[in-house]
Every structure is written in structure tokens, then in C-alpha cells.
Homo-oligomer: A and B are copies of this chain.
Amino acid sequence: MKALRYENGQLGLTETAAPREVAGEAVVRVSLAGICNTDVEITRGYAGFAGTLGHEFVGVVESAPEAPQFVGRRVVGEINAGCGRCELCAAGDPRHCPQRTVLGIVGREGAFAEYLSLPVVNLLPVPDEIEDARAVFAEPLAAACGIMERVRIDRETRVAVVGDGKLGLLCAQAVKAQSAAAITLVGRHENKLRVARARGVETALAGELPREWQGAFDVVVEASGAGGGFALAVGLVRPRGVLVLKSTFHGATGFDAARIVVDEISIVGSRCGRFAPALELLARDAVDVASLVTEEFPLADGVRAMQRATENGVLKVLLRP
């Protein structure tokens, strides 16, 4: 089968073996996949991964020897595959299993291919009303929903999201759709901010923030993945407030420890979320993901698609096997 792989420091489309049947797993024929910044980071050395890239997908179950009722169903899949035996896995949440593999990121071939394999327990059927081009956002939207697992947000909470890339647009909309809080998205691109504004999110240009916003937000979500965005985000957090780090930017970031200590700020890392809340938001069309699609490429043009994903102003690039 065709697969977009990163190996020996090279990204390329290669012919590779289709996944074999593995106990407890299902083989899924990929219908559509999405390129994430993490995929781009991997081609720059992040995570030390070599193999088929990709962890955002929607597909159809091709085979599942131990769960035949799944065959032919349209599914999305959570990307962390646990050992199944440790305390975390036993509790039903393999996201921090120390032995986990992660689709297209850690020790498991990814979704930029004709087929992939995942544990059956990772798969979620996609409701009919969510077409493929929206279902493919289940993973990044789940990550955005994961904010609600890590910090308490209620009606009174003043929330800012920094970064108007695809992650920031999803985070702002997800928090808006899952809470009664007022959300402000801070970015640099009027055309991107407009997407969130149409869903009830307030927006502001990073260069034009009122002085009184400094230290005024209870919760600030850093979704820019840039050092400047991080500094801006820290500045917006009130004393004893929370900064949620969503971006897995590569390398070390500088931060002013004195501000964190003196104002007793909490910095909370947030990675993967569960898919169920994301599917629920997509099913009731509570989040606009369609506007985030910049372009779709055939998998055969995967190298060009990855390049396109790094260009300025580009949001989501999709790959169709």
C-alpha cells in the first residue's frame, strides 16, 4: 500500500506492507486524514519517530477478527494504544500508559496510508450526520475539549485563547461550546479570527490589546506554539490564574519563573482528549471545522501537502488515500 513516511531524516511516499491482523486490533481503511503541526514537527526531529506519519483520520473498518460487528463501520480512533495491563489502562484511560504506542507518533504506523491498525477499544463509530470532512477533526477537536479535563471553567471564568491557527480556533470554539464562560481569542489574522467570531467567540488582534487585559484572565490557553505567544499568554493570566499549554512546540522555551512564583500562576499541560465529547460537538454542529480546511490533496501528493501545511496562512490540509 502507499504510505507517507518519515525515515532516515527523509519524508517520502513509499510502497509499504499493509498492517497485519493483530490480536485485539482492527484494520481500518483510511478515508481521509488531516495534517497536524505535530506531523510537521516530527519531520524536524520531534519525538524521534520514524515510520508512517499521521494521527488524524476517519475510515472504515476493514477487518476485526475479535469484533466482527465493527466491520464496514465508519470510525474515528483515539490515538494512544495502551499496554492493557497497567493501572491506567485498567481504569480505561491509556493516555499516560508508560508502555503506550501512539498512532504515527510513538512506535505505531500512522494514518497517512491506505490502511492503519488500532486496538478495537480505541475506535468510535461516527454518527451518520458527521460527514468525513468534519469527522476527520475528531482528534484535534478532542484535544481542544481536553482543556475542560485540566481546568475548571464555569460561567464566571474569564478565558482567553492565544493563537488563531487551527488549534487555537478549535480550542476557542470547544471551550465556548462546552461552557457558559465568555471566551476571547487573541490572534494576528482577521480572516482567521472571523471563523471563531461567527461562533460567539470574542476576538482581538494581538497588537491591539487594551492595557487593562494584563493579568485579567482566570484561564489563558496557549495555542500559538510560538515563544511570543507564550509570553503574551503569561502576561494575560491573573494572579493565581491558570495558563493551559496546548502547543507541543519543539525545544526549550524561556519563561520568567519570578512572575510564576510571585503571582502564583499555574501552568497546566494538556495533550489528548477523549473523542466522545468531540463527536458530540460535531454531531450537533456546535463547532465550525469546515472553515478550517484550506486544501485537500491525494495521498500520492503527500510530500507537497506537508509542504503546503507549513505555509503562512494555511489552516488544515487534508490527505485522501
- Asked if B245 and A261 sit within 8 Å, CB to CB, the answer is yes
CA distance A162 to B109 in the complex (A): 39
| Residue among A96, A98, A250 with the highest chain B CB neighbour number at 10 A | A96
- Asked if A261 and B239 sit within 8 Å, CB to CB, the answer is no
CA distance A239 to B99 in the complex (A): 13
A261-B253 contact, Cβ under 8 Å, with A96-B240, A239-B96, A266-B266: no
Interface bits A258-276 vs B (CB < 8 Å: 1, else 0):
1011111111111100000
Q: Is the interface of A mostly helix, strand, loop or mixed?
A: mixed
A212 smallest CB distance to B (angstroms): 11
A249 contacts partner chain B, Cβ-Cβ < 8 Å: yes
A311 contacts partner chain B, Cβ-Cβ < 8 Å: no
A271-B267 contact, Cβ under 8 Å, with A239-B96, A256-B252: no
Count of chain copies: 2
A253 smallest CB distance to B (angstroms): 5
A254 contacts partner chain B, Cβ-Cβ < 8 Å: yes
Tell me which residues from 225 to 281 in chain A have a Cβ below 8 Å from any Cβ of chain B. 230, 239-240, 245-258, 260-271
Interface residues on A, range: 20 to 34
Q: Inside 8 A of A258's CB, which chain B residues have their CB?
A: 46, 248-251
A260-B264 contact, Cβ under 8 Å, with A240-B96, A252-B255: no
CA distance A252 to B254 in the complex (A): 6
CA distance A271 to B261 in the complex (A): 6
Interface bits A270-295 vs B (CB < 8 Å: 1, else 0):
11000000000000000000000000
A266-B269 contact, Cβ under 8 Å, with A253-B257, A257-B249, A258-B248: yes
Contact of A96 among B252, B255, B264, B271 (CB under 8 A): B264
Q: Which A residues are within 8 Å of any B CB, using their own CB?
A: 46, 96, 98, 150, 215, 230, 239-240, 245-258, 260-271
Additional A-B contacts beyond A252-B256, A254-B254, A265-B269 (12; CB < 8 A): A46-B258, A245-B261, A248-B257, A248-B258, A252-B255, A252-B257, A253-B255, A255-B255, A264-B270, A264-B271, A266-B266, A267-B268
